[in-house]
Amino acid sequence: MNVDNKDRRLVYTLMILAIASCLAACSVVSPNVRDQAVDLGFSKLADKPDAYIGQTVILGGYVAEVLNLADKSRLMVLQAPLDFKDEPKSRQASKGRFMIVTEQFLDPMVYEKGRKVTVAGTVAGKTSEMVAQYAYQMPMIKASELHLWEEWQPRRWPYYDDPFCSWWDSPPYYRWHRPYRW
């Protein structure tokens, strides 16, 4: 069977489009906000946040503190680099902190310290907050989209429930025919 170059190019183009759409579908940020976002390193933003006022950015990290006021909520976040799904990675790679401002109420029991968040929003300048006893200058982001990541839960071993009887000591019927419990 002869396949000409035109057909090959069409197949390759379709494969590239399929892969790109799968990768774009993995993000928690909507595509229209992602198109507006500036690809900006956090170090540049932290150094001169006033230079980027009004520009859309996507940042993420770990919740450090929640403060609910009468008309808005403020969420202080320890920045972390984002992976391809826009999920924050290791906090050891952090370049500093930033503040998220939103009109919605953020329950401190839900947005508890250490939870992962990703925000898409516009740069609103900088703010100075006390961290320990240090006046810390950080960028302020007005949130348009805010995503709280699920907490990691270890999975139980699904094959046998009895903690006092090991898997090897159980009767063969239970080893091989007991239904899985997820």
Per residue in 86-107, pLDDT (tens digit) is 999 988 999 999 999 999 999 9
Residues of the chain with pLDDT under 70: 1-4, 18-26, 155-182
pLDDT of residue 168: 52
pLDDT of residue 182: 46
Question: What residue segments make up the domains of the chain, in order of their start?
Answer: 28-148
Supply 50's token pair: 């006033």
Q: What are phi and psi of 127, to 5 degrees?
A: -140, 155
The H or E element containing residue 79 is strand 73-79
Choices 3.20.20.70, 2.40.50.140, 2.40.220.10, 2.40.30.40: CATH for 28-148? 2.40.50.140
Q: What is the distance, to the nearest Å, from the Cα of residue 124 to the centroid of all Cα atoms in its chain? A: 21
Per residue in 128-158, pLDDT (tens digit) is 888 888 888 999 999 999 999 988 777 665 5
pLDDT of residue 1: 47
Please answer whether residues 84 and 112 qualify as being in contact, where contact means their C-beta atoms are separated by less than 8 angstroms: no
Model pTM above 0.85: no
* Contacts for 116 with CB less than 8 Å, ≥ 6 apart: 60, 61, 62, 63, 80, 87, 88, 148, 149
Please tell me the number of Cα atoms within 13 Å of 21 on its side-chain side: 6
pLDDT of residue 132: 84
Supply 36's token pair: 């507006």
Positive or negative torsion for Cα 81, 84, 90, 91: positive
**CA proximity to 34, closest of 23, 46, 42:** 23
Query: Reduced to 3 states, what is the DSSP secondary structure of residue 106?
Result: coil
